[in-house]
């Protein structure tokens, strides 16, 4: 063999050995299979490992299988409830919420852990956003101020009435003249309008109505690379959209101050009144604005996505759809009725269908927390600045917790409050372990509103139409913040009076 060819062959063999040893190092030695997670690979290996993991994460995100595919494959590879990876230069540990240490981390809120979203989220939602507060004290202050106004019973009833008006208008007036509709588009529209009305009243919602596409741009930018100086990027479009939303909110607040118009019971008025009265829990003007945007972002896409999955699961399960319809008609609501909170309380099976949809869809797949110092979690050594993601999806699909977890079955929650001890034990165990809205001091502030919107939408759809999927493509939207169908869930509608 020529010396040159010999040298090339030797170099190739050396390269293969290096790649194989790196692959083994990155895949196995650092997996944390049977003991504490050892530190990430050192030096160049670490760099390569981070690039490999980031590329795999981005590839998963950009595929029709969704970003959770990246997580699922790593659980399978490591055969452990906990694994470590690195994405965009940060070390991430995924911990299945089936592990007892996960619920402790959420509910006990140890001081050496803080909630942490990517910095881009704070750029887009604002430094004062309740979702982005890393200091426990700031978070408690914002949460108290928002919760006391959001949880007031009259506002919940008013919210249900407003959402029912919007859902009725959409489903009874607009959908009856159409044969095929895309559920996600419609759900995004009415959840946006309902949340805006709750925040700024019907009048103020008019000012925010044209900004729905801006809110969408902010949501889209939250997952984008932070290329703030590059024109035309998603992130830059998101920042520009935020500016317009903030300007509209500032105008609305200025108009209210100017006209002394603070007697409405929408959230903005309540927060502004507290500020005027010097209430200890009052928020500053900037805190109010950031949190108004946060509530829209946190509430709109999540709930619209959940509604869409619910409609999809019920298209695939026609017997359950019929059983729910029988319950809805059994309420004997006649004429042009408006749904009340009391009516919703009568929708027992409907409520279980909502819960089951939320379990299967698991809109927020994991909850990120950053370690503020070196510590131990679930027997694993966690280093300062690592992000521990508590993975709710793996709990919701754990067959040890939910029987046949891939089957849509609202009756898995039967037994709650029915006095059958054996069923009660299992149902309560499953209900308690649902982590759809998080747990502990960071639990979702809008969980009741979300369930109300889902129940009302379900009732109005069931009592007016039968439906089936118009396109069964299961692909997921690429680069979406929450897993959702790429086709937006198009359905074919058959009016009830035609089919019965």
Interface positions with ligand HEM (CB under 6 A): 115, 130-131, 143, 195, 294-295, 298-299, 302-303, 306, 363-364, 367, 436-438, 442, 444-446, 449-450
In the complex with ligand HEM, the residue whose CB is nearer, 143 or 256, is 143
Can you tell me the distance from the alpha carbon of 393 to that of 364, in angstroms, rounded to the nearest whole number? 8
In the complex with ligand HEM, the residue whose CB is nearer, 26 or 361, is 361
Cβ pair 422, 430 in contact under 8 A: no
In the complex with ligand HEM, the residue whose CB is nearer, 349 or 367, is 367
Can you tell me the distance from the alpha carbon of 305 to that of 459, in angstroms, rounded to the nearest whole number? 17
Q: How far is the CB of 368 from ligand HEM (least distance, A)?
A: 7
Cβ pair 322, 329 in contact under 8 A: no
Report the half-sphere exposure of 284 (CA within 13 A, side-chain side): 6
Nearest one of 418, 393, 391 to 406, comparing CA atoms: 393
What DSSP assignment string belongs to 106-164? Answer: HHS--TTEEE---HHHHHHH-TT-TTT--SHHHHHHHHHHHHHHHS-HHHHHHHHHHHH
Cβ pair 113, 372 in contact under 8 A: yes
Nearest one of 73, 187, 159, 144 to 291, comparing CA atoms: 144
Report the half-sphere exposure of 50 (CA within 13 A, side-chain side): 15
Nearest one of 149, 106, 72 to 367, comparing CA atoms: 106
In the complex with ligand HEM, the residue whose CB is nearer, 183 or 493, is 183
Q: How far is the CB of 22 from ligand HEM (least distance, A)?
A: 34
489 marked as binding residue? no
Alpha helices in 277-332 (DSSP H): 285-316, 318-330
In the complex with ligand HEM, the residue whose CB is nearer, 146 or 221, is 146
Could you tell me whether strands 90-96 and 387-391 are parallel, antiparallel, or unpaired per DSSP bridges? parallel
Q: How far is the CB of 302 from ligand HEM (least distance, A)?
A: 4
H-helix or E-strand containing 377? Answer: strand 375-377
The alpha-carbon radius of gyration of the chain (Å, integer) is 25
Can you tell me the distance from the alpha carbon of 280 to that of 283, in angstroms, rounded to the nearest whole number? 9
In the complex with ligand HEM, the residue whose CB is nearer, 299 or 350, is 299
Among all residues, whose Cβ is closest to ligand HEM?
Answer: 446
Q: How far is the CB of 361 from ligand HEM (least distance, A)?
A: 8
Can you tell me the distance from the alpha carbon of 77 to that of 68, in angstroms, rounded to the nearest whole number? 14
Q: Which two tokens stand for residue 241?
A: 């959209």
Backbone angles phi, psi at 64, to 5 degrees: -80, 5
H-helix or E-strand containing 55? Answer: helix 43-61
Give binding residues for heme as ranges: 444
């Amino acid at each position: 063999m020529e010396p040159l060819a010999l040298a090339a062959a030797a170099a190739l063999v050396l390269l293969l050995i290096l790649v194989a040893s790196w692959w083994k190092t990155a895949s196995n030695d650092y997996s944390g299979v049977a003991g504490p997670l050892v530190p990430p690979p050192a030096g160049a290996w670490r760099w390569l490992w981070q690039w490999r993991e980031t590329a795999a994460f981005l590839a998963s995100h950009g595929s029709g299988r969704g970003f959770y595919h990246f997580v699922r494959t790593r659980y399978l590879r490591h055969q452990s409830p906990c694994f470590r990876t690195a994405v965009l230069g940060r070390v991430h540990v995924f911990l299945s919420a089936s592990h007892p240490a996960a619920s402790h981390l959420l509910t006990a809120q140890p001081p050496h852990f803080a909630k942490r979203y990517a910095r881009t989220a704070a750029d887009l939602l604002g430094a004062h956003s309740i979702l982005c507060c890393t200091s426990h004290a700031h978070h408690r202050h914002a949460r108290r101020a928002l919760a006391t106004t959001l949880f007031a019973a009259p506002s919940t009833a008013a919210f249900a009435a407003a959402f029912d008006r919007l859902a009725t208008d959409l489903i009874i007036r607009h959908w009856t003249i159409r044969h095929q509709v895309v559920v996600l588009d419609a759900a995004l529209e009415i959840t946006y309008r309902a949340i805006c009305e709750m925040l700024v009243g019907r009048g103020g919602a008019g000012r925010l109505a044209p900004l729905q596409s801006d809110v969408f741009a902010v949501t889209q930018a939250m997952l984008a690379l932070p290329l703030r100086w590059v024109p035309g990027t998603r992130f830059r479009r998101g920042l520009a959209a935020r500016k317009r939303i903030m300007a509209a909110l500032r105008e609305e607040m200025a108009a209210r101050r100017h006209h002394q118009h603070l007697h409405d019971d929408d959230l903005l008025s309540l927060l502004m009144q507290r500020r005027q009265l010097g209430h200890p829990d009052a928020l500053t003007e900037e805190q109010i604005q950031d949190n108004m945007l946060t509530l829209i972002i946190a509430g709109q896409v999540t709930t619209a996505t959940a509604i869409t999955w619910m409609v999809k699961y019920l298209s695939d399960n026609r017997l359950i759809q019929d059983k729910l319809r029988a319950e809805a008609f059994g309420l004997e609501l006649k004429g042009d009725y408006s749904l009340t909170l009391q009516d919703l309380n009568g929708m027992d099976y409907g409520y279980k269908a909502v819960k089951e949809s939320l379990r299967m869809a698991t809109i927020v797949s994991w909850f990120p927390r950053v370690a503020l110092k070196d510590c131990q979690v679930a027997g694993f050594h966690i280093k300062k600045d690592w992000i521990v993601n508590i993975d709710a999806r793996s709990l919701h699909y754990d067959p040890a917790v939910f029987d046949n977890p891939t089957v849509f079955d609202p009756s898995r929650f039967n037994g709650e409050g029915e006095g059958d001890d054996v069923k009660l034990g299992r149902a309560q165990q499953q209900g308690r372990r649902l982590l759809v809205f998080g747990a502990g001091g960071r639990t979702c502030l809008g969980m009741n509103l979300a369930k109300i919107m889902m129940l009302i939408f379900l009732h109005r759809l069931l009592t007016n139409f039968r439906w089936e999927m118009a396109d069964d493509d299961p692909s997921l939207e690429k680069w979406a913040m929450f897993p959702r169908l790429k086709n937006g869930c198009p359905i074919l509608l058959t009016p009830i009076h035609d089919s019965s």
